[in-house]
Chains A and B, each alone.
Chain A
Amino acid sequence: MKPHLTQEQLIDYLHGELAPGEDAGVLLHLEGCDPCRAQYEEEATLTESLRSFARTSERELPAGVRASILSAVEASQSQPGWTARITGWLRPAVAIPVAAAIAIAVFAGYGSAVHSGRTTIDAAYYLDDHAALTSAVPFNEGNTVPTALLTTENADGSQ
């Protein structure tokens, strides 16, 4: 009885990476060895499930996206002039909530730096940088989620 196949041989066989002679030898062995056949089937199932997972997690651009972009471009080209937009902003239904939002921001005290034109640095940058660099400490994996996936700001850190 020949020795059982190694996991490397089975994986290479699964991916068709064996030389023709060795490939035939593995096939022959699998036909006559139940333990190796069971292991082969287990590996084949896992490989197929991983491939299926990879396929399903790839996203197609939804069919309606192109149409919605084109209609958004058309809409932007037919926008009203600046006088009409200012008039719109002065309508009570818009002006009152905007004034309330500004008042809340001023009361909170944090909006002032942002609106005064002074440079500010988002706290998210510090939190992210701290988490990233803690991966230099043993048994600390650093960021489990990159900020790029969490924030709405530009990827380069600007807002």
Chain B
Amino acid sequence: MARNSGLLFLAAVLMGGAHAPPPPADLLRDAMGAPDRVSYVGEVEVLRIGAARSDTTIYRIEHRAPDLTRRWYMAPQDLYGDSVITRGSTNYSIDVKRERVVVSTDEDADEQIAARSNFGILMANYNAVYAPDENVSGRAVHVVLLNNKYTGQTTMRVHIDAQTHLVLERQLYAANGSLIAQTRVEQIRYTKAIPGALFEIPSGMTRVNGAARGQESTDVPQVISSAGFAARVPKYLPEGFSPIAGDVVSIKNVPTLHLIYSDGIRTVSLFQNEKDAAVDLSHYRAIATTVADHPAHYVEEGPTVLLAWADGNHHFALVGELSLEELEKIGASVLP
């Protein structure tokens, strides 16, 4: 890493005094806060690649710093015309076909703070190094590779606008090196002239409250003890993973514990309840498998895999962007 930085600095000097980029970790840290200070409009393309199915989402974005965002969906076809307006920590999902506005609070602000605190986990598990500069949507970008310290594999490429430090593109790779997700901002235009009217919620639609979401806490042992039942935790996690948050939420009067594990880029969620409430997979193409000889099923949503199984009345669901084999290994370690 030091050698790369040195070469970059030398190249910058030879190019006539151009500013050398800051150390990659500093640039990454600054990029996380860029949306708080940069207003822009553009078009975002999100590609998620799965073994069985891939999907693309395209939306127009207008973002007025620090916390007003409107996403207007163009693809997939089912979403065309729908939009999501985010005002601070409140999301308004505008469903034009059902003529309703679903209001939900996802504590984005808190998650931003959490993301900054989890930056330490990211840096503990990944080496940040520069790749040669590139160009995204006509903008010069610095490219930072995040290489897993245990496997040496590049897990993420982040393309950061050299001037504004906004992330314009990122790619997520599986452990075998294949691309599993990409987000790219096209037709980026920085401007402060975004009318407030764009972020107004349309009137005349039915307003409904979104699904209740638990207030996650980083005090994971406390969350586990508040579950109200004998919760189980995995004895095995892939290298670098550690618990980062959890919450207990009542779904249909079933207390459900949600624990989140991460290595700073990849995440795994473990959901469990002890009320015999099975995971309903009827809306998905579920495939049978086993978790330590227990019958199980899994579904794939792009690169995300959900693995569901039960041990008596204790039902589990593991969700993550890891391979099925890794999830089965984690699942087997959850059983007593």
Contact = CB atoms under 8 A, between A and B. Distances in A.
Interface of A: 7-8, 11, 14-15, 43, 46-47, 50-51, 53-54, 57-59, 61, 105, 108, 110-111, 113-114, 118-142, 144-150, 154-159
The prevalent SS among residues of A at the interface is helix
B301 interface: yes
B211 A156 contact: yes
Contacts of A123: 279-281, 283-284, 299, 306, 308, 317
Contacts of A108: 282
13 contacts: A46-B191, A57-B72, A118-B276, A121-B251, A121-B254, A121-B277, A130-B304, A133-B267, A139-B156, A144-B46, A146-B102, A148-B210, A148-B211
Given A131-B304, A155-B211, A137 B262 contact: yes
Q: Which 3 A-B pairs have the closest CB atoms?
A: A148-B102, A136-B114, A157-B211
Given A114-B280, A118-B278, A119-B252, A126 B108 contact: no
Scoring A47, A139, A149, A157 by chain B CB atoms within 10 A of each residue's CB, the highest score goes to A139
Given A123-B280, A127-B306, A149-B84, A138 B258 contact: no
Contacts of A154: 208
Interface stretch (B5-13, B92-100, B225-233): B92-100
Interface in B79-135: 79, 81-84, 91, 93, 95-96, 99-100, 102, 104, 106, 108, 111, 114-116, 118-119, 122
Interface of B: 28, 31-32, 41, 46, 57, 59-60, 62, 72-73, 78-79, 81-84, 91, 93, 95-96, 99-100, 102, 104, 106, 108, 111, 114-116, 118-119, 122, 156, 158, 167, 170, 183, 189, 191-195, 197-198, 202, 204, 208-213, 216, 244-245, 251-254, 256, 258, 260, 262, 264-265, 267, 269, 271, 273, 275-284, 286, 299, 301, 304, 306, 308, 317, 319-320
A98 B290 CA distance: 32
B5 to A, nearest CB: 21
Contact of B278 (A46, A120, A130, A155): A120
A126 B158 contact: no
Given A47-B193, A111-B282, A129-B271, 15 more contacts: A11-B193, A43-B191, A54-B195, A110-B282, A119-B252, A120-B277, A121-B254, A121-B279, A122-B283, A126-B319, A127-B306, A131-B304, A136-B118, A137-B122, A139-B158
A48 to B, nearest CB: 10
Nearest to A134: B267
B280 A51 contact: no
Contact of A146 (B91, B100, B264): B91
A61 to B, nearest CB: 7
B267 A14 contact: no
A135 B197 contact: no
B290 to A, nearest CB: 15
A126 B269 contact: yes
Contacts of A147: 211
A75 to B, nearest CB: 21
A5 B193 CA distance: 15
Contacts of B119: 138
Given A47-B195, A139-B158, A149-B79, A119 B283 contact: no
Given A135-B111, A156-B211, A119 B275 contact: yes
A114 B92 CA distance: 31
A93 B252 CA distance: 37
Contacts of A105: 282
Contacts of B106: 132, 135, 142
A109 to B, nearest CB: 8
B145 to A, nearest CB: 12
A111 B245 CA distance: 33
B160 to A, nearest CB: 10
A44 B294 CA distance: 64
